[in-house]
Amino acid sequence: MIRILIAAALIAVGLFVYIVSTIGIFRFKYVLNRMHVAAQGDTLGALSILLGLIVLCGFSFHSLKMLLIIIFLWLASPVASHIIAKAETMTCRHLDKEYEVIEK
């Protein structure tokens, strides 16, 4: 019974993070801000939901697969976000009007 409650709480936290990040995507104006919210929500939401499913399944081969999915998402999501941000900064003509540019 306790295992089910812990799993339900983790899944509920993950759903809450996804809902908040979805609202943040529509609320922010610029691409880089939207991308940041989407990346944070994606990693934390997926982590919470998959951890909830691991707790619900118990220790098995399926939980090992879900742990590998978590590791893959935590490695791939920051790389994808970085590539999108780099493409935005290289192709945006009005970057200085939209964002605060810090000179080095």
Number of domains within the chain: 1
pLDDT: which is higher, 51 or 87? 51
Task: Please indicate, yes or no, if residue 103 is contained in any of the structural domains.
Answer: no
Cβ 85 vs Cβ 58: under 8 Å: no
Tell me the H-state helices in the chain. 2-27, 31-57, 61-91, 95-98
DSSP per position, 16-27: HHHHHHHHHHHH
Cβ 51 vs Cβ 73: under 8 Å: no
Q: In the predicted model, what is the mean pLDDT of the chain? A: 86
> What domain range is 15 assigned to?
2-98
Task: Please indicate, yes or no, if residue 51 is contained in any of the structural domains.
Answer: yes
Reported as a single tens digit per residue, the pLDDT across 25-65 is 898 887 788 888 888 888 899 999 999 999 999 888 999 99
